[in-house]
A and B are shown apart, each in its own frame.
Chain A
Amino acid sequence: MKYMDEFRDPATAKKLVAEIHKLASTSLSQREPLQIMEFCGGHTHTLFKYGIESMLPDNIEMVHGPGCPVCVLPMARVDDCVAIAEQPGVIFTTFGDAMRVPGTRKSLLQAKADGCDVRMVYSPMDALAIARKNPEREVVFFALGFETTMPSTALTLLQAHREGLQNFSLFCNHITTPATMRAILTDPDLRLDGFLAPGHVSMVIGAHPYDFVTRDYHKPLVITGFEPLDILQALWMLVKQFAEGRCEVENQYARIVPEAGNVAGLKAIAEVYETREHSEFRGLGNIGDAGIQIREAYAAYDAEKKLGLPFDFAQGAVGYDPEHLKCADVLRGVMKPWECPAFAKTCNPQNPLGALMVSPEGSCAAYYAYGKLAKRKETV
């Protein structure tokens, strides 16, 4: 427990850790460790930074989930982004994280170096501002992310519509969290016992979209904040559910997450988006109803329709990520980053070969940053 002193409230942290140990030794199987998935990359980051895994009893194992929107982006989508950026007259705008993700040909950063007008923005509203200033150019915003960023892109589109802007569109690659969770739950390679659910996604969607996890799959779930103490408390709540034989959706992050979610945000999402029949996600393959698209009523702001892009989302499953890169297995939690032959060798944060190494929220980047280069618990 070498990092315990770094906690803002070490006494509470110690108490929670002791409680978890007590419950684990009296109520959990000593041979079959409990597998708990933290869905969100932000949680993975906190787990590593504070060495939380090493404080847990041996019969509790964390499985790092795919909850980093950049990490589940298939290479084919990056290729599509580059193809859009290469069209004459286009200004391609994106969040910084997406710039360095490799495609099969190149990353957006390389496309920029090769002369494409690719611009990093902090907000989709910045992209809208660029569109206002450049009426003769088509400004495309790469809309990606789970429900945390969906309201912002939807509201930006609605604003463009209100202003009657003709030169702004979204390349929509958003994903919904519950459908992604369902795909994980039905993956035959994964044995999971419970979830820590993402705090900020839940702030938008509320608690009820997770009801199916407990009802249909009988896995308890706790919505969790990002402080180390939040995570310890949520783990304690989850283990307590096992100990007491309960299976519920609980909300540890109630100070930010309202039961019903964010009403205005959900309204904007429902107005602008609908689910797609097929979408391909890195590591998870083709998941029905997880991806979303822009409704017909707003087709004028849909880059796919407007620019007549050379790909067909409906086909899904492009799946040509190189064989020797194990991103898909790491994403699904069936392989640890250090088991990938490229890890810390040809693939590192300076030269990422997969998205998991790009964003600090990706599990490969987290393992790398905190020196966990092989299976040694003391190196955590």
Chain B
Amino acid sequence: MCLGIPGQITELVDLEFLVAKVDIGGVKRDVIITCVVDDEHPAESCIGDWVLVHAGFAMSRLDEEEAARTLALLAELGDMQAEMEIMRQVGASA
């Protein structure tokens, strides 16, 4: 619940409510990007960015290398499989 999974923003779904499609380890799902959008990073500029996703919300930006390391750590700790499974079960692109 607290670790967060890195994902890459692939498209914008809803500019008004700041919803983006994020690729999280191959599973694509809608993620709210309110917390990573500001004057410096308008929503339109976010495509391709890596973000840390907690419970369906992007909470922080991270660079690609950091994202890769975090993904590797989560895989080693065995934490990711369970979350990914839940994500798949509850409709990844709901």
A residues contacting B by CB (< 8 A) are 8, 40-42, 45-46, 49, 67-70, 95-97, 120-126, 129, 145-146, 148-149, 151-152, 155, 159, 162, 198, 200-201, 203-204, 226-227, 255-256, 262-265, 268, 359-361
Q: List 7 A-B contacts (CB under 8 A).
A: A120-B86, A149-B1, A159-B17, A162-B17, A201-B2, A255-B66, A268-B34
* A155→B86 contact, CB < 8 A: no
What is the CB-to-nearest-CB distance from A265 to chain B, in angstroms, rounded to a whole number? 5
CA distance A68 to B86 in the complex (A): 19
* B70 proximity list for chain A (CB < 8 A): 226-227
Cβ contact within 8 Å between B69 and A152? no
Chain A's closest residue to B74 (CB) is A226
Per-residue A-contact encoding for B70-94, CB less than 8 Å = 1, 0 else = 1011001111001100110111001
Decide: A122 and B2 in contact? CB cutoff 8 A: no
Q: Which of A46, A151, A200, A264 lies in contact with B37, CB distance below 8 A?
A: A264
Whether B60 contacts A96 by the Cβ 8 Å rule is no
Cα–Cα, bound, A26→B50 (Å): 43
Please tell me if the beta carbons of B90 and A265 are within 8 angstroms of each other in the complex.
no
B59 interfacial by beta-carbon distance below 8 Å: yes
Identify which of B35, B77, B91 contacts A45 (C-beta below 8 A). B77
Chain B: interface residue count, which band? 35 or more
| Contact residues in B for A361 (Cβ distance below 8 Å) | 1-2
Which residues from A are CB-within-8-Å of B52? Answer: 200, 203, 256
Interface centre among B4, B60, B89 (most CB of A within 10 A): B60
Assembled-state Cα–Cα distance A126/B92 (Å): 10
The answer for the CA separation of A360 and B1 in the assembled complex, in Å, is 10
| Chain A residues within an 8 Å CB radius of B4 | 148, 200
Q: Inside 8 A of B36's CB, which chain A residues have their CB?
A: 264
Given the interface pairs A95-B55, A152-B55, A360-B78, the reply to whether A226 lies near B86 with Cβ below 8 Å is: no
At the interface, yes or no: B23 with Cβ under 8 Å from chain A?
A: no
Given contacts A129-B94, A227-B69, A360-B79, contact A42 B2 (CB under 8 A): yes
Could you tell me if B59 and A151 are in contact, using CB atoms closer than 8 angstroms? yes
State whether B34 touches A148 (Cβ < 8 A): no
Q: Are A120 and B89 neighbours in the complex by a CB distance under 8 Å? A: yes
- The answer to whether the Cβ of B3 comes within 8 Å of any Cβ in the partner chain is yes
**Shortest distance from the beta carbon of A314 to any chain B beta carbon, whole Å:** 27
A122 touches B56 (CB 8 A): yes
B12 close to chain A: CB less than 8 A: no
Q: Which A residues lie within 8 Å of B44 (CB)?
A: none
A68 to B72, CA, bound (A): 22
B83 adjacent to A263 (CB under 8 Å): no
Q: Decide if B2 touches A146 in the complex (CB within 8 Å).
A: yes
Q: Are B77 and A46 in contact (CB under 8 A)?
A: yes
Chain A residue nearest to B4 (CB atoms) is: A200
CB proximity to A under 8 Å, residues B10-37: 17, 29-30, 32, 34-37
Q: Which residue of B lies closest to A46 (CB)?
A: B77
Cα of A359 to Cα of B2 in the assembled complex, Å: 11
A262 touches B35 (CB 8 A): yes
A8–B1 touching, CB < 8 Å: no
Residue of B nearest to A203 (CB): B60
With contacts A122-B90, A145-B2, A200-B4 known, is A264 near B38, CB below 8 A?
A: yes
- Could you tell me if A200 and B2 are in contact, using CB atoms closer than 8 angstroms? yes
**Which residues from chain B contact A201 at a C-beta distance below 8 Å?**
2
